[in-house]
Amino acid sequence: MSAEIIDGKALAQQVRRQVAGEVAAFTASTGIVPGLTVILVGDDPASRVYVGSKQKAGAEAGMKGDVLRLPATVSQEELLATIDRLNADPTVHGILVQMPLPRHIDERAVIERVAPLKDVDGFHPENFGLLAQGNPRFIPCTPLGIRELLLHAGVETRGAHAVVLGRSQLVGKPMALLLMQKGSGGDATVTICHTATRDPAMFARQADILVVAMGRPEQVAADWIKPGAVVIDVGIHRRADGTLCGDVMFEDVAKVASRITPVPGGVGPMTVAMLLRNTLMAARLATEARP
């Protein structure tokens, strides 16, 4: 292996410590404890783990972290009513509805119901639109964490060709928007590939920075990589033998890339750290908005 590992776990710990310090100062000066409520619908095992780690991270940073667990059979009306209640609750500054949702629920209606100033996921059209316009408020946590990883690793994005594999609302699309923003961590030339792209490997091979968010285990092989490229793997999958892997064939790709994120311990921990940052920002916005 020649690639240097980009250690998301270590950077996330650093960010979480920093946020904890800022939360302590914020609470000391305002008397307000930032509150994050995560809604988990159903009992998808992976979602349960993610939600548990979000709650724990919030508590460790000095926030009030609640999880509302709703059954998979919950009606759309009940879920929307729950969001309305949290929107009206002044002790809740951030609301996150864990995705994916059961099929009978309209994800879009749910995303649009969360008050934009409590939308710590950055999925609401108002926040997404602000990001698209280059004037972001809440930025989705995974792309935000990736930008932080790139900045911390000293990866030059300005003028680089960044290729994003995947066009999801959660990762691919906002990632592309962030990379093309003006300024630090942006100014890249961006290509997005998706399921209808004819030859994604051909595009990937032109990437200085390759962000892989395809949601398919070990799709990206060494011959997709330009020697010296920086590879960010957003995928996380459990193999039949119980071990975890990403969207990238790590061992092979690490022989060609200059830097690479591992799975686990790469992007995942950064997503949680950025959620805490967004929650503190939501608490600050709520405080500023008060008469």
Q: Which residues bind ligand GUN (CB under 6 A)?
A: 96-99, 121, 141-142, 170, 271
Q: Which of 119, 121, 208, 233 is catalytic?
A: 121
Distance of closest approach, residue 227 Cβ to ligand GUN, in angstroms: 31
Closer to ligand GUN at the Cβ: 98 or 279?
A: 98
DSSP assignment of 203-238 equals: HHTT-SEEEE---STT-B-GGGS-TT-EEEE---EE
Closer to ligand GUN at the Cβ: 36 or 225?
A: 36
Distance of closest approach, residue 40 Cβ to ligand GUN, in angstroms: 10
Structure tokens that stand for 208 in this block: 């200085």
Closer to ligand GUN at the Cβ: 252 or 265?
A: 265
Distance of closest approach, residue 201 Cβ to ligand GUN, in angstroms: 26
| Residue 173 among the catalytic residues | no
The position carrying tokens 């159903």 is 42
| Residue 182 among the catalytic residues | no
Q: Which of 54, 118, 173, 226 is catalytic?
A: 54
| Cα separation, 216 vs 235, whole angstroms | 7
Sign of CA dihedral 275, 279, 98, 47: positive
Structure tokens that stand for 58 in this block: 């919030």
The position carrying tokens 């092979």 is 252
| Residue 7 among the catalytic residues | no
| Cα separation, 286 vs 98, whole angstroms | 22
Closer to ligand GUN at the Cβ: 160 or 164?
A: 164
Distance of closest approach, residue 50 Cβ to ligand GUN, in angstroms: 6
Kindly compute the dihedral angle of the four CA atoms of residues 53, 125, 71, 84, in this order, to the nearest 10 degrees: 100
Report, as residue numbers or ranges, the catalytic residues.
Answer: 54, 98, 121
